């Protein structure tokens, strides 16, 4: 129990009000996702996911990674199908999830919390499953000797896990141990967008709604245009009659000095700027997640990203996907492979499917690779999801499309 003189007590207290960037020795990092914003809105994962831009960005990023082909390859670039980890990562990470579901859950947790955790289940020294942990219930703890442990709150108690038993993926990190939550550090942007959406929704519900007003211009009691209580009651009953659903589409007949005036809604310059700020907020959210706006359907304004689809995908892959995939591959090597296995096995995500351009460009690329002895015909057919053919495993060059072996044995001519 910390005292008021304990430095750790005040440090833990401050961490509740602002995100913590580094985990020092003897400190604990409680789960943080979201936070308060300058606009007064408290950003939570539930509120953030109600923003279409946040939902689309996270769904796009996690969906792409989860559907990329993954392989555990040997030194000669062949699949290590006999290794126990191959079945776990390629077919069934655990009893409840497919590989696509497992990776999407992990990627979504990274985009929301900055960290994703899976408990490594072993039978002896053999890994038998990866069980996804709720990042909202995981506290990272670093001992004075630098050792990292994880405290998992299961509701009926807290279970402590050693670093060896946790497959930990992290997003942008400062200390290499904990990832920073995008929702926490983007709380001001998200809070402003949530507040703008709520304000716009209120305006559409109230201020922007046209309203019919009935004005009494006749002479009431004492010759003034004021109704008596009896006349008001009769008028209300008469209006209720024509407001019923069964009377929809019928036009009431006004008499006795009643006029119908329609007050159309108006859009002030301030309201117009509010709508523009909502569009700008979408671009701000895309900037937080590194997603080109056009990939989530935001095409109302010109963007500095590449104009063509092919160049957009190339840019997104180079600047966003490759760093994330590299961190995942290295985490697999570090946490799931032994030191001896790291020298002969390589985990690899295949991103070639994302680079499929138009048929003409793809055909030109394949022709160049085949004619220069880089790809075999069967390799190209495999990329196009076609069966192999006999004789298609020979590398060829442009010399009458002969094989490399034949060209090497051919005597030189004058």
**One-character DSSP codes across 292-338:** -GGGGT--SS--SS-SSHHHHHHHHIIIIIHHHHHHHHHHHHHHHS-
Residue 81 in this model has a pLDDT that exceeds 70: yes
Is it the case that residue 25 has pLDDT exceeding 50?
A: yes
**Alpha carbon distance 222, 356 (integer Å):** 84
Q: Is the pLDDT of residue 338 over 80?
A: yes
Residues 189 and 298 in one domain: yes
Residues 113, 82 share a domain: yes
- What's the domain range around 184? 15-210+267-356
The pLDDT-based confidence of 14 (bands split at 50, 70, 90) is very low
pTM higher than the cut 0.75: no
pLDDT (tens digit per residue) in 86-113: 999 999 999 999 999 999 999 999 999 9
Residue percentage of the chain with pLDDT more than 90: 32
Contact 159/10 with Cβ under 8 angstroms?
A: no
On whether both 65 and 166 belong to a single domain, the answer is: yes
For the four alpha carbons of 245, 247, 251 and 253, in that order, the dihedral sign comes to negative
- Whether residues 75 and 112 share a domain: the answer is yes
Whether residue 10 lies inside any domain: the answer is no
Cα–Cα–Cα angle for 208, 212, 214, rounded to 5 degrees? 145
More confident residue, 407 or 350: 350
Q: Which of 307, 336, 356 is the last residue of a domain?
A: 356
For residues 305 and 365, membership in a common domain is answered with: no
- Whether pLDDT at 260 is above 70: no
Q: End of a domain among 356, 382, 399?
A: 356
Statement: residue 31 has pLDDT above 80: yes
Residue 303 has phi, psi (to 5 degrees) of: -130, 155
> Is residue 243 domain-shared with residue 171, that is, in the same domain?
no
The whole-number pLDDT of residue 141 equals 93
Domain assignment present for residue 128? The answer is: yes
196/318 same-domain check: yes
Q: Which residue among 263, 298, 325 closes a domain?
A: 263
The region, left, alpha or beta by phi > 0 then psi within -120 to 50, assigned to residue 249 is left
Among 111-120, 128-137, 388-397, 405-414, name the one with the lowest average pLDDT. 405-414
> pLDDT-based confidence at 412, cuts 50/70/90?
low
């Amino acid at each position: 129990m910390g005292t008021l003189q304990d430095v750790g007590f005040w440090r833990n207290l401050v961490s509740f009000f602002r995100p913590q960037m580094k985990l020092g020795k003897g400190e604990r990092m409680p789960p943080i996702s979201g936070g308060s914003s300058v606009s007064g809105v408290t950003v939570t994962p539930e509120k953030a996911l109600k923003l279409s831009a946040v939902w689309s960005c996270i769904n796009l990023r996690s969906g792409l990674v989860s559907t990329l082909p993954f392989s555990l390859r040997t030194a000669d670039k062949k699949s290590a199908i006999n290794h126990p980890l191959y079945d776990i990562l390629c077919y069934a990470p655990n009893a409840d999830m497919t590989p696509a579901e497992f990776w999407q859950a992990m990627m979504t947790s990274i985009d929301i919390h900055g960290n994703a955790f899976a408990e490594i289940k072993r039978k002896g020294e053999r890994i038998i499953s990866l069980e996804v942990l709720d990042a909202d219930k995981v506290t990272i703890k670093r001992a004075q000797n630098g050792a990292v442990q994880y405290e998992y709150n299961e509701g009926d108690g807290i279970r402590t896990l050693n670093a060896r038993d946790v497959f930990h993926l992290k997003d942008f990190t400062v200390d290499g141990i904990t990832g920073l939550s995008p929702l926490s550090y983007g709380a001001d942007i998200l809070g402003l967008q949530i507040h703008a959406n709520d304000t716009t929704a209120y305006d559409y519900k109230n201020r922007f709604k046209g309203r019919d007003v009935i004005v009494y211009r006749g002479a009431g009691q004492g010759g003034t245009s004021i109704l008596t209580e009896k006349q008001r009651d009769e008028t209300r009953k008469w209006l209720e009659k024509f407001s019923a659903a069964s009377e929809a589409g019928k036009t009431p007949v006004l008499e006795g000095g009643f006029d119908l005036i329609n007050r159309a809604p108006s859009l002030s310059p301030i309201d117009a700027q509010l709508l523009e700020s909502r569009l700008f907020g979408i671009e701000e959210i895309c900037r937080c997640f590194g997603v080109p706006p056009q990939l989530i359907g935001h095409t109302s304004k010109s963007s500095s990203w590449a104009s063509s689809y092919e160049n957009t995908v190339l840019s997104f892959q180079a600047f966003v996907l490759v760093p994330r995939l590299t961190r995942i591959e290295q985490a697999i090597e570090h946490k799931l492979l032994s030191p001896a296995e790291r020298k002969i096995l390589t985990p690899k995500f295949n991103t070639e499917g994302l680079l499929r351009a138009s048929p003409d460009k793809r055909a030109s690329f394949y022709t160049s690779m085949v004619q220069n002895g880089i790809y075999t015909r069967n390799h190209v057919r495999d990329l196009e999801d076609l069966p192999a053919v006999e004789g298609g495993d020979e590398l060829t060059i442009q010399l009458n499309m002969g094989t490399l072996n034949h060209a090497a044995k051919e005597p030189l001519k004058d």
